[in-house]
Chains A and B, each alone.
Chain A
Amino acid sequence: MNAPFEGIGASVRRTEDLRFISGKGNYTDDINRPNQLYAVFKRSDRPHATIVSVDTAAALAMPGVVAVYTAADLAAIGGLPCGWGINNKDGSPMNEPKHPVLAEGKVRHVGDPIAMVIAESKSQAKDAAEALVIELEDLPAAATVRDALAAGAAQIHDNAPGNVCYDWHIGDKDATDAAFAKAHKVVTLDLLNNRLVPNAMEPRVAIGDFDRTTGLHTLFTTSQNPHVIRLLMGAFVLGIPEHKLRVVAPDVGGGFGSKIYHYAEEAGCTWAAAKLNRPVKWTAERTESFMSDAHGRDHDSTASMALDEKGNFLGLRVSTLANLGAYLSTFGPAVPTYLYATLLAGTYKTPAIYAEVKAVFTNTVPVDAYRGAGRPEATFLLERLVDTICHDTGFDPVAIRRQNFIPRDAFPYQTPVALEYDSGDYFATMDTAMKQSDYAGFPARKAAAAAKGKLRGIGISTYLEACGIAPSAVAGALGARAGLYEVANVRVHPTGSVTVFTGTHSHGQGHETTLAQLVVEQLGVPHAQVEIVHGDTDRIPFGMGTYGSRSLAVGGSAMVKAMDKIITKGKKIAAHLLEASVEDIEFAGGKFSVAGTDRAKTFGEIALTAYVPHNYPITEIEPGLDETAFYDPANFTFPGGCHVCEVEIDPETGVTSVIQFVAVDDVGRVINPMIVEGQVQGGVAQGIGQALLENALYDSQAQLVSGSFMDYTMPRADNLVNISVGTENTLCTHNPLGVKGCGEVGAIGSPPAVINAVVNALSAYGVRHMNMPASPEKVWNIIHGGQRAAAE
């Protein structure tokens, strides 16, 4: 009987799903420690106010209350650190105000924690939180970048004059000005990228624990990167050295970026557990998640393209105001700069690009990376601009894109905004997407819809994104305060089964399945003989975690390097056993053999020999078969593709329905096609959500008015269609697997495809642009005239 193929390219079923769908997952909230206390954070209901006083006496007297802490109690610990520094145009560093664990002197957004109440039960902690007497003195507040930048706006931080964090730029301004000077036509578009709430299914949880006999602190937390949390919290906030701090991120129910960052509750619970010598647990309620998980997007931009008379792109000028929220989150400053403006070439050979980004503090929840992080904002801007060029000039949206694509033979391609793309073929993804969506047949479908009184529209978007973050040298030059390599420890056991300890973290992506396929492929071990371990700083040597579609490209490559070392050592053992020269040993299909003979040893035999080294080259090599590799990529990876969306609008109600969605992506080598399809479909669902449904809306007083699922519209199954996923892959040229990453492509490529389709459907009404989400009333207003401006 042939064993089923479980290596690279097989749609191996997800091994982790049995525990997830049978209720056996082990999430942080499933963990309870003996003698555990419960923390509740008392949060500000005001967007901006001076804290006049906090009287804790009544709360402390409540039944079961153990402690109430405010900023005064935390004077000895640090603020939450920011992982990226950005310099201003003049080279000076950004303004970096302190992000205290508990609000100091002022509250700066609704949800800002003022006090931590700890009691024997959660209910008692909640009762006590209500008994706190807090006197706040309201200050004027600003929720939008424009309000925060307005003359006379209230100062949110003393050391950020005008509420500006930084004023940064990239590209060649003079060359871009020259391109505009010789332009036949300039098309300009103002556009907003709507703020989103990540809404992972599992809310955030933190449990601090402390063993005073050993001095060991443990934090159980819902994190995408436990080692990063250990580093940030240990070194910058609490002053705990790594050997006395363990961070565990067990099963995590979705992150989408929101669980990358080091949050106040993690530090608060870890600190309080040591102070009280008892475990302290905090579990977010959904309402808290809305006001304390870092939000995504929120850009206000103007983009202009200079064109020649044939429609060739000559130069691109972009000016963006980015909302960072009230404080700097861990990655916050990097998102609207190095993850955004460096992507503004997109799939096009635009020779001159200049972008300015002003990052602004507002009285809102901090903004940070959310699935795609900067690349969706860049793609939305570019692909809306291209369709607007077509609207204004009459060029065809397919032809103008093809004409400006970076040619197949131009790779490696150096863009005017720092990145060097290693590979890609934008023609191939577009051709397949056109075919798969029957783009040519659209006019007939539009006519059929019109006969039923419906407005059909079709929209395309092409995109390029940078992931597999990140080459440390580049990341360092860009301002990251850490290297972004990855670590793998491959432990071969005496009987030949394998445990891999990876520094990446799976929170829904299926790493336990996909990463094991790499072991099947390289070591010839059956999938069932491989265990992937992640999420515990005590078990895994080190790691930077999972975000930016990096797990396979960087973490998988580290595994390849570690397995290379295993094979190298195995060959030496085999050479000894087979009495051959090591140069003559070949390894393939799980066997070490002497080239040109049938003399061979299985992988299992070599493993056993390594651990029972009776007959062993003991003077040359050590016993055991356990190797670790650190892999630092040479470059980012550059997935790209083409998405085609077809919508139908009910003109009576303004409701937009997605009728068809085709995504054809270049994600490099595919390890598990089923998982790629699921990742792309999930990303597209989020992109359709952003385009049509989701909106984190603050009112003019900086209150979040879509602060619950009653008002924040998550995409549901009946908002979607079966998303058709295809791939047209070129290989990454600089990592050993040729992989690029697929986690974010869906969320990056899809929003402009949807809005381009909506604008196309409404073409008879003269609409030029529509900001997201294309809600029914906004669409209805366009159709019914008079209020067209409201949508723009």
Chain B
Amino acid sequence: MYNFEYQKPAALADAIAALGQDDAKALAGGMTLIPVLKQRLNQPSVVVDLSKLGLSGITVTGDTVTIGAMTTHATVARSAEIQRAIPALAALAGGIGDNQVRARGTIGGSLANNDPSACYPSAALALGATITTNKRSIPADQYFTGMFSTALDEGEVITAVSFPIPAKAAYVKFKQPASRYAMVGVFVAKGPAGVRVAVTGSGQSGVFRFTAAEQALAANWSADALAGATVAADDMMSDIHGSAVYRAHLVGVVTKRAVLAAG
């Protein structure tokens, strides 16, 4: 780890100002940033800790679950309100990493980083979430712009994420055997915005909507309806754990299992 300055502002405006400094980095749960710093892969001048900004908490209204950006995965997983409203979301949070990661990692940090193998982006995209920042509200469909890339501007900070409550939803993850990140993670939802299927872990451009599956399920919500729905191997990532062809196949299998799990 290189030396850096550490700041922990108590007000959002101060945090935004601090992030305006050259080579400043925001620290949410640190589950990606800290390992990267330890490996000397990043050399920020200042690290701005967002943990004192009051950005954590869960609010459930009639049709929406709103989660503060600094809410940890463990908190989401354990929330009785979320377990009732969107059990698939609580289950997804409870399956991220291990206990230590879930105790530190946050939903805002995960969405801001947009790791192509992270779980949360699939939930945000499939549920048609709205990502709220210090400046604006961004629909999930416009938020994810590629691997490790989002619609966030420099110095823009996520404050909360709102999820419309679906009628049915489920997340099923096929884990990369070593890292246990999603190799293929599929979130299916039938909600106010119709049927949406989002896939993480396998797309070359990060999380994506599996439109063929969405169309099939919109016509007939059943695993059998997915028989002809496929993704193109050309669009899949390939590594030592799974070729693009294998990943494309798994997208079909995991989507089917997610539909079965959603009931």
Contacts and interface: CB of A to CB of B under 8 A. Distances in A.
Interface in A258-293: 287
B249 interface: yes
Contact of B253 (A653, A706, A709, A714): A653
A509 interface: no
Contacts of A697: 240
Given A126-B40, A652-B253, A780-B249, A713 B177 contact: yes
A718 to B, nearest CB: 10
Contacts of B219: none
Interface in B160-207: 174, 177-179
Q: 3 closest Cβ contacts across the A-B interface?
A: A713-B178, A710-B179, A713-B177
Contacts of A705: 240
A334 to B, nearest CB: 31
Interface in B212-263: 239-243, 246, 249-250, 253
B174 A711 contact: no
Contacts of B179: 709-711
Interface residues of B, number: 18
Nearest to A719: B177
B249 A711 contact: no
Contact of A712 (B2, B178, B249): B178
Contacts of A712: 178
Given A697-B240, A706-B240, A777 B246 contact: yes
Interface in B80-134: none
A771 to B, nearest CB: 15
Nearest to A778: B246
Given A653-B253, A693-B177, 8 more contacts: A652-B253, A705-B240, A710-B179, A711-B178, A711-B239, A712-B178, A713-B177, A784-B249
Contacts of B39: 287
B1 A123 contact: yes
B253 A776 contact: no
B246 to A, nearest CB: 5
A713 B177 CA distance: 6
Interface string B54-88: 00000000000000000000000000000000000
A711 B1 contact: no
Interface of A: 123, 126-127, 130, 287, 652-653, 693, 697, 705-706, 709-714, 775-777, 780-781, 784
Nearest to A712: B178
Contact of A653 (B174, B240, B243): B174
Nearest to A790: B243
Contact of B242 (A123, A127, A693, A777): A777
B175 to A, nearest CB: 10
13 contacts: A653-B250, A697-B240, A706-B240, A710-B179, A711-B178, A711-B179, A711-B239, A712-B178, A713-B178, A776-B177, A776-B242, A777-B246, A780-B249
Nearest to B178: A713
A474 B56 CA distance: 69
Contacts of B239: 711
B160 to A, nearest CB: 31
Contacts of B253: 652-653
A711 B250 contact: no
A778 to B, nearest CB: 10
A287 B250 CA distance: 31
Contact of A710 (B178, B242, B243): B178
Nearest to B184: A653
Nearest to B243: A777
A780 B246 contact: yes
Nearest to A711: B178
B178 A709 contact: yes
Nearest to B181: A710
User: Most chain-B CB neighbours within 10 Å: which of A130, A705, A711?
Assistant: A711
B176 to A, nearest CB: 8
